[in-house]
Amino acid sequence: MVAIDLSPKLVDLARDRLPATLGQGSIAFLAGDMLDPALGRFDHVVAMDSLIHYSAGDMAAAVAGLAARTAGSIVFTFAPRTPALALMHAAGKLFPRGDKSPAIEPVPPAAIRRRLAASGLTLGASERVASGFYISQMQEVLPR
């Protein structure tokens, strides 16, 4: 398994928090670009909130690029753009940002589905993930 993020700090954190019992196999912790074709082919891909700062176009291009190198399914999450969340997002923009982290890019679920389908990908399950203030949208892309 490859566990990758652009941030070496987050990769270190994931390595530190690894449960003691994981069963068989091994994990390669890498700091780098998960979209780099040099990583080779994958059986499955899970991108947990990795694409939430991408526009719909960049997100669809990233998923399509991964799909070309993945034998099985891809599951990724993104910030869904809904009327209520758009309002919250707009209100948040009125306040100065205290850090330099990139802004979350809310994307309408239908828009990302349309773009992925236009790239020839077959879509699977789509589900809202919500826990307290955390809200995201999970989208599955089926094997080709």
Ligand X SMILES: C[S@@+](CC[C@H](N)C(=O)[O-])C[C@H]1O[C@@H](n2cnc3c(N)ncnc32)[C@H](O)[C@@H]1O
- Dihedral of CA 139/78/82/128: which sign? positive
| C-beta closer to ligand X: residue 43 or 58 | 58
Shortest separation between residue 31's beta carbon and ligand X, angstroms: 8
Q: Which of residues 61 and 111 has its CB atom nearest to ligand X in the complex?
A: 61
In the complex, the smallest distance separating the C-beta of residue 59 from ligand X, rounded to whole angstroms, is 10
| Alpha carbons 140 and 122: distance in angstroms, whole number | 9
Q: Which residues bind ligand X (CB under 6 A)?
A: 4-7, 10, 33-35, 48-50, 52
Q: Which 8-state DSSP code applies to residue 69? A: T
Beta carbon of residue 77, minimum distance to ligand X (angstroms, whole number): 8
Measured from the CB atom, the residue of 57 and 122 that comes closer to ligand X is 57
Q: Least Å distance between CB 136 and ligand X?
A: 9
Q: In this structure, are residues 11 and 5 in contact, taking their beta carbons and an 8 Å threshold?
A: yes
Distance of CA 20 to the CA centre of its chain: 26
Residue closer to ligand X, measured from CB, 34 or 121: 34
Q: How far apart are CA 65 and CA 37, in angstroms?
A: 9
